Amino acid sequence: MSAPIAKPWLSSQSDQDPRSATGSPLRWGIIATGGIARSVSQDLALLADAELYAVSSRGQDTADAFAVAYDFAKAYGDDGGVPGYQRLLADEQVDVVYVATPHAQHYEIVLAALNAGKHVLCEKAFTINAREASELIDVARSRNLFLMEAVWSRFLPSMQRAFEIAASGELGDIHWVTADLGFPAPYSPTARLWARKDGGGALLDLSVYPLLWALGTLGFPQTVSASGFINDDGVDAQNALTLGYNHGAQVQLTSSLLAHGPRTATVAGSLGFLQSVGSINNPSELTVSTGWDSRRAEAFEPVGGGYVYELREVTRCIQQGLTESPVMPLEDTLNTMRLFDGVRAQLGVSYPNDRH
Ligand SMILES: NC(=O)c1ccc[n+]([C@@H]2O[C@H](COP(=O)([O-])OP(=O)(O)OC[C@H]3O[C@@H](n4cnc5c(N)ncnc54)[C@H](OP(=O)(O)O)[C@@H]3O)[C@@H](O)[C@H]2O)c1
């Protein structure tokens, strides 16, 4: 049976230098000062039409230090019971905010940002569950504001090329996909990767990337079967997902906070297979093998840390009055959170946010 032609999510901007302006500058506000906030701020500085305007933190000293290090004009810390992010959202100069806190705070902060009239780019996992995601999407739509989950890998030239090859027919009908992502994360009950209150576990932190290879080549599955190792704190230290498709294709995905895996993806079809080289969320090379002995490689070198492409897309969409990106639609975010809810039900993982 033939596999369907998958939606490749090809960006209309993919052949342009992502640093070049697509319209009037936007003033950005960054919420949180952790690892990914630093990486994304460095890439934001590369965009010709981005103004690094404000940063917020729970601590004023931390916000001040971040603003100096990355050249933001304003720094907002918690003050007299008012959270730093609320102070940033009250600043009328801010056009768009980037939310980079742990997952469990995304819902509350994105809701506040939308209610303050700001466009929003929010880190993955977008929320803890589909109910939170659905509510945020409804609010963004009702207020005509841009909202997007920061799945940066979708916008990378290497990933766009992988999905283009899969959709081109060069590999024939796609029958199976495998992808893994993992690293040994030092255990601490309070570290965000492990803490139940922060949405800890491999699923919400890592599985979005292996899943991307399935979505980009085969779309959302009809069945999902999950197994995992649940630690004493009740979060998944690692998980394995098998996705099934009515036309007969199958996908196997592994995410782990315990093992240093190869971080590779393979897409196999009736005429050949494609493999990623380098991490699956930012491949440096794709190899395409067709027949028994034909093999070619395509190499990629992303601009900056690779976040420039998603930042360009957010900027372009807001400048053009779009409220969501056709490359990273909100429906995909909602369906991803539904899929993760189903996996968690199978694994027996719940979070405090599930209660309200
Ligand atoms: N796209 C990517 O490549 C990528 C990579 C890594 C992580 N992420 C995602 O980005 C998010 C943050 O990850 P990270 O690695 O940057 O984490 P991190 O290094 O622990 O930083 C998170 C920051 O959020 C703030 N924060 C911590 N606990 C908080 C709480 N209880 N309430 C409000 N704010 C809190 C802190 O900033 P302040 O002290 O300034 O408040 C902290 O520095 C996660 O959702 C993660 O999945 C994405």
pLDDT digit string (tens) for 178-204? 999 999 999 999 999 999 999 999 999
Give distance in angstroms: CA of 275 to centre of ligand 1.
31
Return the structure tokens found at 268. 């196999």
Give the model confidence (pLDDT) of 81-130 as tens digits.
999 999 999 999 999 999 999 999 999 999 999 999 999 999 999 999 99
The answer to whether residue 177 scores a pLDDT higher than 70 is: yes
| Same domain flag for 89 and 172 | no
| Final residue of a structural domain among 152, 185, 202 | 152
Residue with the two structure tokens 């992808």? 179
Range of the domain at 277: 154-303+329-355
> How far does residue 24's CA lie from ligand 1's centre (Å)?
29
* Gap from CA of 249 to ligand 1 centroid (Å): 36
Calculate how far, in angstroms, residue 64's C-alpha sits from the geometric centre of ligand 1.
17
DSSP at 79: B
180 and 163 in a single domain? The answer is: yes
In whole angstroms, how far apart are CA 40 and each of 23, 35, 47, 331?
A: 20, 9, 11, 24
Which of 130, 152, 174 is the C-terminal boundary of a domain?
152
Q: Are 185 and 261 found together in one domain?
A: yes
List the CATH number of the domain containing 186.
3.30.360.10
pLDDT at 14: 60
CA distances from 43 to 48, 99, 134, 171 (A): 11, 15, 29, 34
Q: What is the pLDDT of residues 13-63, one digit of tens each?
A: 666 899 999 999 999 999 999 999 999 999 999 999 999 999 999 999 999
Identify whether residues 105 and 167 lie together within a single domain: no
Confidence band, pLDDT 50/70/90 cuts, at residue 3 = low
Does residue 16 form part of some domain? no
Mean pLDDT, range 276-288, rounded to an integer: 97
β-pair type (223-230, 236-244)? antiparallel
Which protein residue's CA is at the shortest distance from atom 21 of ligand 1? 34
Ligand 1 center–CA 15 separation, angstroms: 32
Pair (245, 163) in one structural domain: yes
pLDDT at 202: 98
- Is residue 170 domain-shared with residue 244, that is, in the same domain? yes
For residue 138 the two structure tokens come to: 């409804």
pLDDT band at 12 (very low <50, low <70, confident <90, very high): low
Residue 235 located in a structural domain: yes
CA-closest residue to ligand 1 atom 40:
57
Number of domains in the chain: 2
Which pLDDT tens digit goes with each residue over 47-58?
999 999 999 999
Does the pLDDT of residue 332 top 90, yes or no? Answer: yes
Triad 75, 317, 106: Cα angle to 5°? 50
241 within some domain:
yes
Is 148 found in the same domain as 158? no
Q: Which atom of ligand 1 is nearest to the CA of 106?
A: 45
Residues with CB under 6 A from ligand 1: 32-37, 57-59, 62, 100-103, 105, 123-124, 150, 152, 192, 205
In a domain, 297, yes or no: yes
Same domain, residue pair 189 and 199:
yes
Distance 22 CA to ligand 1 centre (A): 29
Confidence of residue 301 (pLDDT cuts 50, 70, 90): very high
Best residue among 101, 159, 206, 279 to mutate for probing ligand 1, ranked by most atoms within 8 Å of CB: 101
Specify the CATH number for the domain of residue 56: 3.40.50.720
Average pLDDT over residues 268-288: 97
Q: Which two tokens stand for residue 271?
A: 């005429």
For the CA of 151, the closest atom of ligand 1 is: 1
Average predicted confidence (pLDDT) for the chain? 95
Local confidence band at 291 (pLDDT 50, 70, 90 cut-offs): confident
Asked which of 120, 152, 184 is the last residue of a domain, the reply is 152
pLDDT recorded at residue 6: 52
Instruction: Look at residue 309 and tell me whether its pLDDT is greater than 80.
Output: yes
Query: Residue 100 C-alpha to ligand 1 middle, in angstroms?
Result: 5
Is residue 188 domain-resident?
A: yes
Q: 10 Å Cβ neighbour count for 313? A: 26
Average pLDDT over residues 144-163: 97
pLDDT for the residue numbered 293: 84
Contact (CB, 8 A) for 33 and 62: yes
Distances (CA, A) of 176 to 168, 218, 273: 16, 9, 10
